[in-house]
Amino acid sequence: MREHFAEAEVVELTLMIGFFNMFNRFMDALQIPIEAEGEVNKIRRSVRLDPGKVKGHLEGTLAAWPEGFPEPDALAP
């Protein structure tokens, strides 16, 4: 990982992973639903994808795809 990310980026990734892990455990322990049941049901209905819409989305994404990406360390202050 260190060959791809700066020290500060590794620390930030570790912190965020730990935060989301803690948040999920906290919500599970207190039996707090993250989403209302109605919202979960909307997601269940949305898994039936229209192949034409998916193809259009992917074609648009591919058309806008950049030729290159900056190196992670180039973005660090």
Does residue 20 have a pLDDT over 90? Answer: yes
Q: Which position has the token pair 């648009």? A: 60
Confidence of residue 77 (pLDDT cuts 50, 70, 90): low
Can you give the residue ranges of every domain in the chain? 7-64
What is the sign of the dihedral through the CA atoms of 38, 48, 31 and 19?
Answer: negative
Confidence of residue 22 (pLDDT cuts 50, 70, 90): very high
Q: Which of 66, 72, 69 is nearest to 1 (CA)?
A: 72
